[in-house]
Amino acid sequence: MARSQRSKRQKKGQQRRATAQEGQNRLIAILNEPHGADERMLRSSARHLVRLSRRHRLSIPPEARHLLCRKCLAPHAFGTNARVRIKHGQRIITCLECNHVRRHGGGPRAHRRI
């Protein structure tokens, strides 16, 4: 990495954010590739991701949003502990561990504002 590009003081906050984002990406990579990891690892990764994101006030990246339950923080393995249905144009994800339901997408076309 280019060490000289960092200025000494002002960039510190950004640096911390960048590190946090790197951590997010690492955890998301684990969650995206669940076959290489055991379940305990996935669970702690999911929890870590949410904690890390909250601590640094980062949002959870959109590609990771559907990977875990925002209520019980269980990583979602579709077909095992999560159910996905498309209904009225929405993607409906039900967590089978806590029965929390999340809806993604705009819903019926007629209900959308243009």
Q: Which parts of this chain interact with Zn ion (CB under 5 A)?
A: 69, 71-72, 95, 97-98, 100
- Please say which residue, 60 or 95, places its beta carbon nearer to Zn ion: 95
CB of 69 to Zn ion, least distance (A): 3
CB of 87 to Zn ion, least distance (A): 19
- Please say which residue, 26 or 102, places its beta carbon nearer to Zn ion: 102
Cβ atoms 71, 97 nearer than 8 A: no
Cβ atoms 41, 30 nearer than 8 A: yes
Structure tokens at 22: 């790197």
CB of 76 to Zn ion, least distance (A): 8
- Please say which residue, 27 or 82, places its beta carbon nearer to Zn ion: 82
Strand partners, 101: 94
Dihedral over Cα of 6, 7, 8, 12: its sign:
negative
